[in-house]
A and B are shown apart, each in its own frame.
Chain A
Amino acid sequence: MIRIPCPFCGERDHSEFGYGGDGTIVYPALDAPAEEWVEAIFERENICGVQSETWQHVNGCRMWLLIERNTMTHEIQSVRPAHEGVAKALEESK
């Protein structure tokens, strides 16, 4: 069981979360050409080691989180809200 320290709810089992995917993907503009979208949607670094990825606390606060996690050991290095504005507000509230 991976235990994810949700910035809003505290440490929780990973089964409360939904897995998003690669957190480093920059989605092109909606009117960008298809080639850019193909790259963003289909191509993956598929890192063995620490990767940035998105998770959603579906059965909790429903916030999307950006998590740095080792895909070999499952160790989590950092967790922050995926939304920069929310992340910043959270930081300031501390």
Chain B
Amino acid sequence: MTRYSAWSVFWNGLTGQKGWDRAWRDPEPKAEYDVVIVGAGLHGLATAYYLAKNHGVRNIAVVEKGYLGGGNAGRNTTIVRSNYMMPGNRDFYEHSLKLWENLSHDLNYNVMFSQRAHVSLFHSPASRDAAARRYNTMRLTDTDGELWSLDELKRNVPHLNYGPNSRFPILGAAVQKRAGTARHDAVAWGYARAADQHGVDIIQKCEVTGVIRDGARVTGLETTRGIIKGKKVGFAVAGNTSRLWGMAELGKLPIETHKLQAFVSEPLKPLLDQVVVFGVGGAHFYISQSDKGGMVFGGDIDWYKSYAQRGNLPIVQDVAECATSILPCLGRVRLLRHWSGVMDMSMDGAPFICKTPLDNLYLNAGWNYGGFKATPASGWYFADLIANDRPARVVVNHDLTRFERGVNIDERGAGPDPKLHG
């Protein structure tokens, strides 16, 4: 397998690009695996990679109904940050950020993690103090975080609406400089390639149509490419979790599927160097500029439950209003494309990496908006869970029993309503 490097790019340039191998194989499914992960999205692929790399599991399959990285992996707004403060979430997302920082080297695939700073605006003293609590917590747990005064903000992010006609005048911002964006497709491909190099079978166009149970065990999966047996099975299928859960006849889950739209503009010369987010007046908005030049942005979910990967106009309009209100020069910039993904919204906005009522079935779900940034840690801890059959300390509360146990890791404090955890 050719190692990617400036040298190999140069050499292949001279030799007609003939030396590149397939990034991943297209194997036929085997009859049985030690671990079968359902879902070749970011989390599923990362799980397979860390299972192989950290835990030495050699016989792994990732089965995917479409093509790898074809769901939310390619539909998100690519933001990576670790500004979480609740117990568990704090360690989890910081571990994730640390993995992000070396991910390109680890995978030998440039995922273009750009630590360009995540700038979260505040518009009132109360929201400044709430941000201070969060960023102080980060600092005390060895994570970077700072507050910018209005002057500092103006120096660093010059084109925001600081004018007198701003509906909610900006007072300053909470900033995490190590946060930023990454190239979402590259993350999926990088994990896929690295997992494949460790011998993981990534089986695309292989839809799970049934879960075969023997009492409290899963013995295999019925798929469109035949029955695949697994000694252990992990679900990592985001918005489709409840459907698989239903196939396993496991009843209800604390998850609702909602759709989230995302937007990209025509490519422009550099206009915005950071990730900028704000939430005020019932609005919620985040924006950054891709390396290709498109302004990538998004806002709230569409408010109603949906499995449809297409959005509707009210949110399009709402998000546009946020865009022009915070960056008034965007009025003339043109929207190139908008699309939507289906999100596994949990009841408290926090995810699940946990065991299930079945002995050898493991669940990875409930990522709400947070799935992309969580990718490395999600794969890391899910692999750890599957390999060792017990959750690591960091994720002990990311389980299905936390609601009856009265454990609260709700970053927003929004309460048991999935639509409020955007």
Q: Which partner residue on chain B sits nearest A41 by CB separation?
A: B416
* Given A21-B417, A41-B347, A48-B257, A71 and B313 contact (CB-CB distance below 8 Å): no
Question: Which of B253, B416, B417 lies in contact with A46, CB distance below 8 A?
Answer: B253
Decide yes or no whether B28 CB sits under 8 A from chain A.
no
* Given A19-B304, A71-B306, A42 and B416 contact (CB-CB distance below 8 Å): yes
**A interface bracket (residues with beta carbon within 8 Å of B):** 20 to 34
The distance from the CB of B235 to the nearest CB of chain A, in whole angstroms, is 14
* Given A35-B404, A43-B253, A15 and B306 contact (CB-CB distance below 8 Å): no
A34 contacts across to B, CB distance below 8 A: 404
Decide yes or no whether B88 CB sits under 8 A from chain A.
no
Interface residues of A in 66-80 (CB under 8 A from B): 71-74
A1 contacts across to B, CB distance below 8 A: 312-314
A72 contacts across to B, CB distance below 8 A: 306-308
The distance from the CB of A33 to the nearest CB of chain B, in whole angstroms, is 11
Q: Do B305 and A51 touch (CB < 8 A)?
A: yes
The distance from the CB of B25 to the nearest CB of chain A, in whole angstroms, is 32
B314 contacts across to A, CB distance below 8 A: 1, 13-15
Q: For the complex, what is the distance from the CA of A53 to the CA of B257, rounded to whole Å?
A: 14
**B interface bracket (residues with beta carbon within 8 Å of A):** 20 to 34
B416 contacts across to A, CB distance below 8 A: 41-42
Q: Do A46 and B255 touch (CB < 8 A)?
A: yes
For the residues of B in contact with A, the DSSP-based class is mixed
User: 1/0 per position for A32-63, CB-CB distance to B under 8 A?
Assistant: 00110011011111111001010100000000
Q: Do A48 and B303 touch (CB < 8 A)?
A: no
Q: Which partner residue on chain B sits nearest A13 by CB separation?
A: B314
Q: For the complex, what is the distance from the CA of A82 to the CA of B331, rounded to whole Å?
A: 42
Decide yes or no whether B419 CB sits under 8 A from chain A.
yes
Q: Do A44 and B252 touch (CB < 8 A)?
A: yes
The distance from the CB of B145 to the nearest CB of chain A, in whole angstroms, is 32
Decide yes or no whether A26 CB sits under 8 A from chain B.
no
Decide yes or no whether A2 CB sits under 8 A from chain B.
yes
The distance from the CB of B365 to the nearest CB of chain A, in whole angstroms, is 11
A53 contacts across to B, CB distance below 8 A: 304-305
Question: Which of A2, A35, A42, A73 lies in contact with B347, CB distance below 8 A?
Answer: A42
A19 contacts across to B, CB distance below 8 A: 303-305, 419
Question: Which of A13, A42, A47, A55 lies in contact with B254, CB distance below 8 A?
Answer: A42
Interface residues of B in 278-333 (CB under 8 A from A): 303-308, 312-314
Q: For the complex, what is the distance from the CA of A41 to the CA of B418, rounded to whole Å?
A: 11
Decide yes or no whether B375 CB sits under 8 A from chain A.
no
B419 contacts across to A, CB distance below 8 A: 19, 21
Q: Do A44 and B256 touch (CB < 8 A)?
A: yes
Decide yes or no whether B77 CB sits under 8 A from chain A.
no
Q: Do A48 and B404 touch (CB < 8 A)?
A: no
Q: Do A73 and B253 touch (CB < 8 A)?
A: no
B304 contacts across to A, CB distance below 8 A: 2, 14, 19, 53, 55
A47 contacts across to B, CB distance below 8 A: 242
Q: Do B255 and A74 touch (CB < 8 A)?
A: no
Question: Which of A2, A15, A21, A45 lies in contact with B242, CB distance below 8 A?
Answer: A45
* Given A53-B305, A74-B308, A43 and B313 contact (CB-CB distance below 8 Å): no
User: 1/0 per position for B212-246, CB-CB distance to A under 8 A?
Assistant: 00000000000000000000000000001111000
The distance from the CB of A46 to the nearest CB of chain B, in whole angstroms, is 4
* Given A1-B314, A19-B303, A21-B417, A48 and B243 contact (CB-CB distance below 8 Å): yes
B312 contacts across to A, CB distance below 8 A: 1-2, 14
Decide yes or no whether B403 CB sits under 8 A from chain A.
yes
Q: Do B257 and A38 touch (CB < 8 A)?
A: no
Q: Do B404 and A38 touch (CB < 8 A)?
A: yes
Q: Do A44 and B255 touch (CB < 8 A)?
A: yes
Interface residues of A in 1-41 (CB under 8 A from B): 1-2, 13-15, 18-19, 21-22, 34-35, 38-39, 41
Q: Do B306 and A43 touch (CB < 8 A)?
A: no
Q: For the complex, what is the distance from the CA of A20 to the CA of B365, rounded to whole Å?
A: 23
B255 contacts across to A, CB distance below 8 A: 44, 46
23 contacts between A and B (CB under 8 A): A1-B313, A2-B304, A22-B256, A34-B404, A38-B404, A41-B347, A41-B416, A43-B254, A44-B252, A44-B253, A44-B254, A44-B255, A44-B256, A44-B418, A46-B241, A46-B242, A46-B253, A46-B257, A48-B240, A48-B257, A55-B304, A72-B306, A72-B307
Q: Which 5 A-B pairs have the closest CB atoms?
A: A46-B242, A43-B252, A15-B314, A19-B304, A42-B403
